[in-house]
Amino acid sequence: MNILITNDDGIRADGIIELAKTVATIANVYVIAPETQKSATGHAITIHNPIMVNEEFIQENIKAYSISGTPADCVKVGIEALLKDVKIDLVLSGINNGPNLGEDVIYSGTVSAAIEGFIQKKPSIAFSYDEFNVSKEVYLKAADYAVELVNNMKDKLHLLDDCVLNVNIPNKEVKGYKITKLGTREYENDVIERVNPHGKKYLWIGGRMKETKQEEDSDVKAVNDGYISITPVNIDMTCRKKIDILKNEKLL
């Protein structure tokens, strides 16, 4: 198998390095990642600027590049340009530094890279770890789960023809895995106002998560309970149940 690996934390993040090295034991691995931290970039792509490309070294049997673009750019330019002579069988994104659960998915560069893989008609899986700034050893253990999932999926990649998998690995003893739906995430006191040394106002988006009630089959609940959460995610955002309701209203 030829596997393209990307992330949103950048080429030097432990999560992608451990994932790439581990997956390289079972497949040909190509890494294309942002040259710097690009988390929370959603599905941004770079169209108003050129994207610079740098060759990188991870280990001998891994072809690696960093680019000046976003996670979605990595997959797009990987499949359409840098690796256009390679038949990529699978796109993996991660392992992300921190979870991507519930509405986080909207903001997540990690998940957006997997969704770009889907748009490029490639089976795609996003991996995130439910804690920030953990050690290489922790990522290595998480990468073993990623390889196990890839091994189990490799004869049924057709299951990913209408969705990507969003996988979150708990930061506690793993009890097993659950197929979940996206839960609810809410943040409060998000935006901090400050004044810079030159007297100019600036804002900084921060915020802490609110406790929210979770349904039994949500990704948030599964990870909190010690299960690896696997959520099928697609890109058809049409709110179908509203179509007939809106048809009965005079809007224009």
Q: Which stretch binds its own copies (CB under 8 A): 17-25, 89-97, 128-136, 241-249?
A: 241-249
Query: Does 195 interact with its own copies (rule: CB under 8 A)?
Result: no
Residue 168 annotated in ligand binding: no
For residues 230 and 127, give the distance between their C-alpha atoms in angstroms, rounded to a whole number: 9
Which of 175, 179, 212, 215 binds its own copies (CB under 8 A)? It is 179
Asked whether 91 and 75 are in contact (CB, 8 A), the reply is yes
Gap between the Cα atoms of 6 and 20, Å rounded: 9
Q: Quick check: 1 binds its own copies (CB under 8 A)?
A: no
**Burial profile 40-52: b = 16 or more Cβ within 10 angstroms, e = fewer:** ebbbebeeeeebe
Regarding 26 and contact with its own copies (CB under 8 A), the answer is no
251 near its own copies (CB under 8 A): yes
CB of 62 to its own copies, least distance (A): 20
96 assigned ligand-binding residue: yes
Looking only at residues 197 through 236 of this chain, which bind its own copies when binding is defined by CB under 8 A?
200-206, 228, 230-236
Q: Could you tell me the smallest distance in angstroms from the CB atom of residue 119 to its own copies?
A: 7
User: 244: annotated binding-site residue?
Assistant: no
Query: In angstroms, rounded to a whole number, what is the distance separating the alpha carbons of residues 78 and 86?
Result: 10
Q: From 122, 211, 105, select the one nearest 167 (Cα to Cα).
A: 105
Q: Please report, as residue ranges, which positions from 104 to 163 form the binding site for its own copies (by CB under 8 A).
A: 105-107, 112, 115, 119, 145, 148-149, 152-153, 156, 159, 162-163
Q: How far apart are CA 66 and CA 34, in angstroms?
A: 5
The two structure tokens encoding residue 6 = 């990307």
Residue list, annotated binding site for a divalent metal cation:
8-9, 39, 96
